[in-house]
Amino acid sequence: MKRALQALVAYPGSEDEAPADAPERKKKKLPSLASSLIIPVPVDDPALHQGRVRATPHVEGQYAAYVYIPLVVHPGTALYSLVDEVLDVTKEMVPAAHAIGEIVTYSRHSGGLVVNSSRRARELHLSLTRLIYLRAHQREEFKQAIKLIASRQTPFQASFATFSELTNDERTRAFLSFEVGAGHNELRDLLSALSPTLQSLRQRDFYSQPRFHVSIAWALLGPDTSVNGDADTKRHPLAYEGVIAVEGTSDDDLTSDGSIGESNKEFQSECFPRIPHFPSELIPTLNQRFGARVSSAHIGGFGADTIVVKIGKDIFSWPFQGSLVNRVNP
């Protein structure tokens, strides 16, 4: 009986590879994604946002937020006139300074048509948090926490005490501010009420020694090249300023890497020049000329009756609804 021949299986070896002169296969190009599927990358342009630079890189789905008490200063009031006078003197001494919080208000008749758009008011902010960052799913939780605080807080009276110069955490901006005197204890209570929520969201509390204030002007800071520059820039303790209340801008519109593009340097140097710090004589001059009016309850006094949270570009506010009974018997 003849044995059946077993078929041999041939495995290709190096000698079986394609010859060197064989034509190379062309790689097929993958089709490009539809434009609707491409998420646009934010373009940071300090020239569009008053020279602001982003201190924290942009993260998709993350929202910058902060909490504050609003103070709307209406034309014709003593405080509005005082702010105007102070800004005039400040601009003379610091040409690089810019006013904060100017917004347009409108008068309307019953038909809803504008009949007078010449009146201008200033909305100033008394910050209660640093700039914090929320994920999309945390926004509603944060809003509800602020709403609950408002329902328990009693409206209170506060007043200003003096002028001060403060800087932000990154030392990129200096602010001319009215520091709060009366009302400090109530503001500390609000910080205590906010703390558990901030900690649960792994956000930083406000400062342990807060200097509550309302800022009325700002200037961009640059390196101090003077002989005593290092000592001079440390003469003011840091204080978080929060988002500046200028219509059409916000602090979440900053550059991602903290730098200024080449195309913006010339624009910024012309429109938003930098200074090492405010002149050392600015605060003493303002306190001497306007200090008595600032600390006057008639002029510098104001009611705190609303709390506001800004999340991204959305603003939510709630009135204080607590009572003295609730404060004594929580």
Residue whose entry in the numeric block shows the structure tokens 């978080």: 240
pLDDT band (50, 70, 90) for residue 118: low
Q: List pLDDT tens digits, range 10-55.
A: 555 555 555 556 666 666 676 665 655 555 555 544 444 444 444 4
Cross-strand partners of 98: 218
Residue 202: inside a domain, yes or no?
yes
At 208 the pLDDT is 84
pLDDT tens across 205-220, in order? Answer: 898 889 999 999 999 9
Is the pLDDT at 252 greater than 50, yes or no?
Answer: no
In a domain, 154, yes or no: yes
3-class DSSP state of 24: coil
Residue type, 10: A
Element (H, E) at 85: helix 78-93
Choice between 118 and 61, residue whose per-residue pLDDT is larger = 61
Q: Is residue 15 part of a domain?
A: no
pLDDT above 90: percentage of residues in the chain: 49
126 pLDDT higher than 70? yes
Q: Which residue has the higher pLDDT, 63 or 253?
A: 63
Which residues have CB under 8 Å from 211's CB, separation 6+? 164, 166, 179, 237, 239
Residues 156 and 183 sit within 8 Å (Cβ to Cβ): yes
Determine the Cα–Cα distance for residues 279 and 236; give it in Å rounded to an integer.
12
Does 279 reside within a domain? yes
**At residue 112, does pLDDT exceed 90?**
no
Question: Which of 150, 205, 202, 200 lies closest to 322 in space, CA to CA?
Answer: 150
Whether 40 is covered by a domain: the verdict is: no
Q: Is residue 217 part of a domain?
A: yes
Complete DSSP assignment for 271-321 = HS-EESS--TTHHHHHHHHHHHHHT-HHHHEEEE-EEEEEETTEEEEEE--
The model's pLDDT over 197-251, given as tens digits with 9 standing for 90+, comes to 999 999 888 988 899 999 999 999 987 644 444 444 344 444 444 333 333 233 3
Domain contains 266: yes
3-state secondary structure of 108: strand
- pTM for the whole thing? 0.68
Number of domains in the chain: 1
Cα–Cα distance for residue pair 173/246, rounded to 1 Å: 15
Sign of the torsion formed by the C-alpha atoms of 166, 216, 159 and 322: negative
Question: Can you give the residue range of the structural domain that contains 137?
Answer: 64-106+115-323
Q: Show contacts of 73-80: CB within 8 Å, 24+ apart.
A: 73/101, 73/121, 73/122, 73/123, 73/124, 74/121, 75/119, 75/120, 75/121, 78/293, 78/298, 78/299, 79/299, 79/300, 79/302, 80/121, 80/122
Token output for 224 = 């101090």
Task: Please indicate, yes or no, if residue 59 is contained in any of the structural domains.
Answer: no
For range 74-103, the mean pLDDT:
93
Extract the tokens encoding 107.
């008068």
- Return the CATH number at 164: 3.90.1140.10
Residues 6+ apart with CB under 8 A from 200: none
Selected residue with higher pLDDT from 262 and 116: 116
Q: How confident is the model at residue 101 (pLDDT cuts 50, 70, 90)?
A: confident
